[in-house]
Amino acid sequence: MVSIWTRTKQQLESQQWFEKKSPGWGRLSIMPLNELHAKDAGFLVNGDLKIVVEIDVLEVVGRLDVTEETSTIIETMDVNGFQILPSHAESVSRMFERHSELASEFRPKNPNLRTAYISFLLSLIETMCQSPQELSQDDLTDAYAAMGFMRDAGFKLDWLEKKLDEVSEKKKNEKSSEAGLQEMEEDLRDLKRKCSDMEDLVKKEKVKMSAAKAPLSFDDVV
């Protein structure tokens, strides 16, 4: 404990183990309260007490709850010259089987860049596999832009552009069909309302006709 007067400072030294199973080590008391509160002791300054602790580590035994920065090794496998995740191996293999010229003019040689490009291509295909209802027009615009980016790198993607055109056409048809369906549903509601009104008129006319056909009774005549 630090005093404003060096002559009255209180200093204690000890050796302890920092150990999970023994959390309660320490000292129950260091100095009496009357000495701590003494005006000429200099420990309390404006009601504040300053305690300085210095710890020298003499020996470290084991580790506990220590987060270490470790280099994570990600397992990859080679498919047509691209290092990819095992989970993507089947998809990439099928893609190259059906389109062997896909990367014949692909220029980047850096393995990390090649992996990034092929992953980007897979993401583009996954986007195209979404239903037209899930895809927005912005998604399709971004997909065309991404395809241009991949082509600039050397990928041959004529086959993929045709599929993207099909997806875009499906989206247009979906929007057109949705608008037409809404219009037909509105027309159907109008027809149902008109039919309901007509049924009410028919019921009223039947009541009138029934009254007109009824013969007069004796009481009615007399």
What confidence category does residue 97 fall into, taking pLDDT thresholds of 50, 70 and 90? Answer: very high
Beta bridge partners of 78: 83
What confidence category does residue 66 fall into, taking pLDDT thresholds of 50, 70 and 90? Answer: very low
Section 210-217 average pLDDT? 81
With 0-12 CB in 10 A as exposed, 13-18 as middle and 19+ as buried, what is 127? middle
Residue with tokens 């009496």: 32
| pLDDT reported for residue 31 | 67
What confidence category does residue 124 fall into, taking pLDDT thresholds of 50, 70 and 90? Answer: very high
| pLDDT reported for residue 75 | 84
Question: Cα–Cα distance between 66 and 20 in angstroms, integer?
Answer: 13
Query: b/e string for 46-72 if b means 16 or more Cβ within 10 A?
Result: eeeeeeeeeeeeeeeeeeeeeeeeeee
Helix (H) or strand (E) holding 201: helix 158-213
Question: Cα–Cα distance between 176 and 112 in angstroms, integer?
Answer: 43
What confidence category does residue 159 fall into, taking pLDDT thresholds of 50, 70 and 90? Answer: very high
Q: Dihedral through CA 81, CA 84, CA 90, CA 94, nearest 10?
A: -40
Question: Cα–Cα distance between 121 and 99 in angstroms, integer?
Answer: 13
Report which of residues 17 and 156 the model is more confident about: 156
Section 134-157 average pLDDT? 90
- Model confidence pLDDT, tens digit, residues 186-213: 888 989 999 998 999 999 988 888 888 8
| pLDDT reported for residue 101 | 92
Residue 74: pLDDT over 60? yes
Q: How far apart are the first and last CA of the chain?
A: 125
Residue 79: pLDDT over 50? yes
Report which of residues 180 and 17 the model is more confident about: 180
3-state secondary structure of 71: coil
